[in-house]
A and B are shown apart, each in its own frame.
Chain A
Amino acid sequence: MPDLPGMEHPEPKLRMQSIHKSFTVGGKREPVLAGVDLAVEDGEFVSIIGPSGCGKSTLLNIIAGLDQPASGSVSLDGGQDQQRLGRVGYMLQKDLLLPWRTVLDNAILGLELKGVSRRQARKQALQLTESFGLSGFEDQYPFALSGGMRQRAAFLRTMLLDQELVLLDEPFGALDALTRIQMQEWLLNLWDSMKSTIVLITHDVDEAILVSDRVYVLTSRPGKVKMVLDVDLPRPRDFEAITSLQFTSLKAKLLGALREETVKNGAETWP
Chain B
Amino acid sequence: MKADPKGVLTGVHFIDGDHAACEGALAAGCRFVAGYPITPSTEIVERFAARIPKVGGVFIQMEDELAASIAIQGGVWAGHKVMNVTSGPGLSLMMEHLGYACMTETPSVWVDVQRGGPSTGLPTLPAQADMMQIKWGSHGDYEIIALSPNSPQECFDLMIKAFNLSEEYRCPVFLMMDEVVGHMTERVEIPAADQIEVTERKWTKKKPKDYKAYETTPEDLVPEMIKAGDGYRVHVTGLTHDERGYPKMDVPTQAQLVTRLLDKIRKNADKLVDVRMDGCEGADVIVVSFGITSRVATAAIETARAQGLKVGHLRLIICWPFPVKLIQDLAKTVKAFVVPELNMGQMVLEVRKAVEGKVKVISVPHPGGTVHEPETILEQIVEAAR
The judgment on whether A and B are partners is: no
Binding site for B on A (CB under 8 A): none
Binding site for A on B (CB under 8 A): none
